[in-house]
Amino acid sequence: MIHCLIIDEMHESIIPMLERISVKADYRPEISRAEILNIIGNYEGLIIRSKTSVDKELLSRAVKLKFIARAGAGMDQIDVEETEKKNILLFNAPEGNRDALAEHCIGMMLNLLNKICISDMQVKKGMWDREGNRGYELKGKTVGLIGYGFMGRAVAEKLKSFGCRVIAYDKYLKKFSYEYVEEVSLEEIFEETDILSLHIPLNEETRRMINEDYFNRFKKNIWLINTARGEILPLDALNKVLKSGKLRGAALDVLENEKLKDLNVQERKNFDELAASEKVLLTPHVGGWSFESYVRINEILVSKIKAANVF
């Protein structure tokens, strides 16, 4: 029997699933970072979402740790280099939430192009503006994906039936064209995209990458969907391109700073400007967050831990 510490909220099915592969879990979603640092030395396994950064400090105390399992996709809270030095195995579960993410992403596209949220609010207030709420179709548009991992691929597959062209650029992946998607250069993304959807991880290369210059390289005025990470897209830049018209609309499931109660003065100003725009649709980082994915993430993680044979 090996021991594993769970420091974030997860679906309750994780405990019996782990027991079946001889892992005894301590489920401590309320645990503070200070407590984690105190007790992590006792565990062979750590299961996390995004509550705390798994950095050099934490890893230096994790003397018995054999694996870290991320209940979700993003690994941006983990010092991957340091885990490699310490031979700690890393698992994540994008296979568990890619379908939820892709459905949410396409829901946001349809909503943005058809002004569903805006017209809903208007009708509830007694307004009946049909012309002002005329929509655009996905059919015939070119959807440009930046990043073609699990999430990008799931979005491309689900877009198939909408009659749009799906093109994708991934700096680290080549030769992935197939029936749902056309691999293109970044230049072609800038040249041809109508709707841009971001599916890249957060790291030092992508932080604040989608800035004003980036938007201005697009030939057309575009719509934007961000279901990846907020830190890749600074809100000051976003507000500028919304104002200039380069961006026709933006749907964001993630924000630069998602702790809305703790924004500094500048962040508050940027957020308020964004939230006041009728061209903007916001959801609270729920893209991969379905009832189904809550359980599926556990199944994927447990099967990966089992297959790695860390015992």
Min CB(151)–ligand 3PG separation in Å: 9
Do 26 and 3 touch, CB atoms closer than 8 A?
yes
Nearer to ligand 3PG among residue 71 and residue 281 (C-beta): 71
Helix %, strand %, coil % of the chain (to 5): 40, 20, 40
Q: What is the CA radius of gyration of the chain?
A: 21
Which DSSP helix (H) or strand (E) runs through 225?
Answer: strand 222-226
Do 73 and 288 touch, CB atoms closer than 8 A?
yes
Contact range with ligand 3PG by CB under 6 A, out of 38-46, 66-74, 147-155, 244-252: 66-74
> In this structure, how many other beta carbons lie within 10 angstroms of the beta carbon of residue 27?
18
102: nearest Cα among 47, 160, 141, 53:
160
Residue 97 touches ligand 3PG, criterion: CB under 6 A: yes
Total number of residues that touch ligand 3PG (CB under 6 A): 7
Residue 225 touches ligand 3PG, criterion: CB under 6 A: no
Contact range with ligand 3PG by CB under 6 A, out of 18-26, 67-75, 233-241, 255-263: 67-75
Nearer to ligand 3PG among residue 97 and residue 142 (C-beta): 97
Contact range with ligand 3PG by CB under 6 A, out of 33-41, 71-79, 191-199, 240-248: 71-79
Residue 288 touches ligand 3PG, criterion: CB under 6 A: yes
Among 68, 73, 210, 241, binds ligand 3PG (CB under 6 A): 73
Active site residue 229: yes
Q: Which residue's entry shows tokens 């932080």?
A: 207
Do 70 and 45 touch, CB atoms closer than 8 A?
no
Cross-strand partners of 168: 145, 183
Residue 50 touches ligand 3PG, criterion: CB under 6 A: yes
Min CB(290)–ligand 3PG separation in Å: 11
Cross-strand partners of 46: 5, 68
Question: Residue 48 — φ and ψ, nearest 5°?
Answer: -135, 165
Among 49, 220, 240, 306, binds ligand 3PG (CB under 6 A): 49
Residue 149 touches ligand 3PG, criterion: CB under 6 A: no
Both tokens assigned to 270: 């940027």
Give dist(CA 75, CA 127) in Å, integer.
45
Nearer to ligand 3PG among residue 97 and residue 239 (C-beta): 97
Given the residues 82, 103, 188, 258, the one annotated as active site: 258
Residues tagged active-site: 229, 258, 285
Contact positions vs ligand 3PG (CB under 6 A) = 49-50, 72-74, 97, 288
